[in-house]
Amino acid sequence: MRSAFSSAECPSIIQYEHLNSCPLCGSHNYTKGSQHREILQPAALPANLMHLQGNVSFVSALCEDCGASFNLEGLSDETRITLSKNSYAFLKPSQGVGISNYTYYLDIIMEYLPHKNQRFAEIGGYDGYTPATLSKHGYTDLSLIEPSPQIDNCLVEQGKVKLYKGFFPEADPVWSYHELEYSERKEHLYDVIAARDVFQMLGNPLQMLKSINICLKTNGLAICSSGDIDVMHPQQKLHLGLNAYRTMARAAGFTIVKTIKPHRYSTVFYVMRKEVDLVSDGQAAKDFCAAAPCSKEDFEKEQLKQREIVQRTRQTDAEALKRLNDAVTKHHNLGHEIILYGTGYTCSEMMGNLQIPLSELNLTIVNSDKNEDGYLYLRPDDQTNIVHYAGSYLKDKNIPLIILAVRSKPFKQEIEQLLKSINCQCDELLFIYDND
C-alpha cells in the first residue's frame, strides 16, 4: 500500500562533507571509487521522523596505505551524530527480529569463552541480546556498554548483566584504571570484548581498538565485525576490510588470529589477540606496533580485490536482478499484488533496479516487527509505502508473489518459519541470492 507522503514535505537534516584524506591513517594516497545512491537509514520510520530519512548519494575511495575504504563525498559527522541520537534503527533480536544474524556472532564468542566465569563485555550491544543469551548459557560476568540501551531491566536488576550507559571507554569503570601499570589493573580487565558492526561508524576506530587493548588481559581477545567492504552504506564513516583490520590490529597491539566470513552473510568477523600492553610494555609495545602488519605481497593481493569492489555501482549482480525483474513483470502483467518482505538496504536496492516504474506496481511492503506496523518506508523515487506487520497482514492468505528483500540465508529461513506459523501460502517465494 502506498502513502501520499513525500520526503520533500519535511526539512532534511542531511549535510555532506568532502574528505581529501583517509580518516584512518591520514593518507592522501587513495583510489577513487564510483558514486552510489542509497536510502539513508535501512528501516521503516514513523511519519514524524521521516525528516531524518532520505535517499543520498556518496562516493567511496580506497586508501592505498592502510587499506580502509571511506566516503570521499558523503554524510557529515554532524548528520551522522544527529541520526544516531534520534532515529537510527537497529535489529531487535531480543524481540525476535534478526535473531539469525546473531547466530554466528554468538557461536564465535562462546568458542573463545571456554569458562563460564570469564569476564566479557560488549560495546554497542543496543538491546542486550548478546549478554542476555550468554547469561542463559551460564556465563556469570557480563557487561554491556551502550549509549542508548534497550535491555530488559530485569537482567540488570538481577545482576545478570552489568549495564554502563554511555560511550566506551569513558562509561566503562574498567577504564578508570587505564593509567595504572598492567599488574595493578589486571584483576579488573576483561577476557573478551566484542563489538558488532561498531568500528565502521566511528571517526577514529583505531583509538577505540587501543582503548580495548588497555581494558583486556594479555592474550585476551577482541571480537569485532564490519560489513564486507563491498557493502557500501552512507552512514558508515569507514568501510573496513581485511587490510584495514590488519593495520589497526598491529597498531593497537593485536594480531588477527582468525577471520570468519559466514556464507551468505554481509558481515566479516575478526578475532584479535592482545600481544602487548600499550601502557606497561614500553619499547616492546612500540616496536610491535611499528612493525608491518603483513607482507607487501599479501597487502597488494587484498588491495587488488578492493580496488575492483569500490568501482561497483550496485551490490547485486545482473543475473539476480534479471530473476527479480522477470518475476515482477510476470505478476504485474497478471494484475497481482506483489509483496516485498523486508525494510533494509536490500529492499531499497531491489526497488531501485526494477524496470517497471514503482508508481505502476501494486506493491506492498511488510516486515517482521509488529511495532513498525503503519510506519513508512522511503522508496528510491522519494515516495513512501506504508509498512505492514507480516504476522498480521499475511496471516491465512494465499499470495501470488513474495519477494524476500534480505541477503542472509538464515534470515530467509527465519521468514519462512514465520510464514509457516501464520498459515501463509504463496505461489512463488523469491530469494534472488539463492544462486550466489
Look at the pTM and tell me if it is higher than 0.75: yes
Domain covering 93-291 assigned CATH 3.40.50.150 in the classification: yes
CA separation for the pair 182, 161 (Å, rounded): 25
Whether residue 380 is preceded by a cis peptide bond, meaning omega within 30 degrees of 0, is: no
Q: Could you tell me which of 148, 155, 154, 147 has the C-alpha nearest to residue 130?
A: 155
CB atoms within 10 A of CB 301: 13
pLDDT in tens, the chain (436 residues): 544 444 444 446 778 888 889 989 999 999 998 888 889 888 999 999 898 888 988 888 999 999 998 888 888 888 877 776 665 555 555 555 556 667 889 999 999 999 999 999 999 887 889 999 999 999 999 999 998 788 888 888 888 999 999 999 999 999 999 999 999 999 999 999 999 988 887 878 999 999 999 999 999 999 999 876 555 677 777 888 899 999 999 999 999 999 998 766 668 899 999 999 999 999 999 999 999 999 999 999 999 988 988 888 777 888 999 999 999 999 999 999 999 999 998 999 999 999 999 999 999 999 999 999 999 999 999 999 999 999 999 999 999 999 999 987 878 988 999 999 999 999 999 999 876 5
Phi and psi at residue 8, to the nearest 5°: -70, -15
Domain covering 318-430 assigned CATH 3.40.50 in the classification: yes
CB atoms within 10 A of CB 188: 15
- Under 8 Å between Cβ of 167 and 124: no
- How big is the CA angle at 117 (ends 113 and 121), to the nearest 5 degrees? 60
Q: What is the SS3 assignment for 103? A: helix
Phi and psi at residue 58, to the nearest 5°: -155, 155
Phi and psi at residue 199, to the nearest 5°: -60, -40
- For the chain, what are the domain ranges? 2-86, 93-291, 318-430
- How big is the CA angle at 151 (ends 103 and 235), to the nearest 5 degrees? 70
Strands (E) across 29-136 are located at 30-39, 55-63, 69-75, 119-123
Question: Can 93-291 and 318-430 be said to share one CATH topology?
Answer: yes
Q: Which residues are CB-neighbours of 364 under 8 A, at least 6 positions away? A: 1, 337, 338, 339, 340, 385, 388, 393
Report residue 68 as a C-alpha cell.
580502509
- Under 8 Å between Cβ of 184 and 176: no
Measuring CA to CA, how many Å separate 219 from each of 106, 112, 168, 288?
A: 20, 11, 21, 14
Q: Could you tell me which of 384, 337, 364, 392 has the C-alpha nearest to residue 3?
A: 384
Report residue 198 as a C-alpha cell.
561498531
Dump pLDDT digits (tens) for 323-368.
999 999 999 999 999 999 999 989 999 999 999 999 999 999 999 9
